[in-house]
Amino acid sequence: MIKTSQDAIKNTQTDNIVDFIDAVYMVNIRSWSYGDAPGELSKKLNIAPKEKIYLPDGGQSPQMLVNRAAKAIANGEHRCILITGGEAAYSIAKSFNGTRPEHWPKRRSPKYINGKKWNLSEIDKKYGLFYPSLTYAIIETALRASSGRSIEEHRKYMGKLFEHFSKIAAKNPYAWIQKSYTPDEITIPSAENRNVNYPYTKRMCANF
């Protein structure tokens, strides 16, 4: 986050933009726990924010921070806000086997979380409906039904959409998978492309 924040600051092409950053908004870091992640980042960037926000984790959190930042700036509460976040789940799982590297700080519970945690019902918990691959699969099936498309028609429809994403990723040096797949290679289950939750296969889900 230090590197990406520095790059974002540099990308503004404004020499003294750091002097105007008076708030740091951050999405919850699930892969590691810090007592004051926004504060630690601010120190590394030589920022002295008058407000630090650390939201609960959730797919909607980044957009919530953008909305909150826009409103705060429009209302004159802040001049410039740094919105950031990051994860190291894959690195921890593959490189560290879940143990703490010597140069990493110990896990500490966040001193503050600005916002409510997920309100899950007993049904949500019972069926795991807080997992995107489950919840979105239900929504996707409902969308297919409302569109009037048959199962096969919708499979081809999704395949064309994801083929476009795949072509873009194949040209991106930072993409996780730099290969272009055909619609059938994306939507039809195979040994390399297992079925996750109907109608989604592995290549239709986030991989990390």
Each residue of 6-22: pLDDT tens digit?
999 999 999 899 999 99
Q: Which residues does residue 55 pair with via DSSP β-bridges, in sequence order?
A: 27
Can you give the residue ranges of every domain in the chain?
2-96, 122-204
Element (H, E) at 191: none
So what's the pLDDT on residue 97?
64
**pLDDT band of 89, cuts 50, 70, 90:** confident
SS (H, E, C) 93-157: HHHHCCCCCCCCCCCCCCCCCCCCCCCCCHHHHHHCCCCHHHHHHHHHHHHHHHHCCCHHHHHHH
Q: Which fold has domain 2-96?
A: Peroxisomal Thiolase; Chain A, domain 1 (3.40.47)
Q: Which pLDDT tens digit goes with each residue over 134-152?
A: 999 999 999 999 999 999 9
The pTM score is 0.71
Q: What Rg do the C-alpha atoms of the chain give, in angstroms?
A: 21
At residue 174 the predicted structure's pLDDT band, cuts being 50, 70 and 90, is confident
Side-chain half-sphere of 22: how many Cα atoms within 13 Å?
Answer: 9
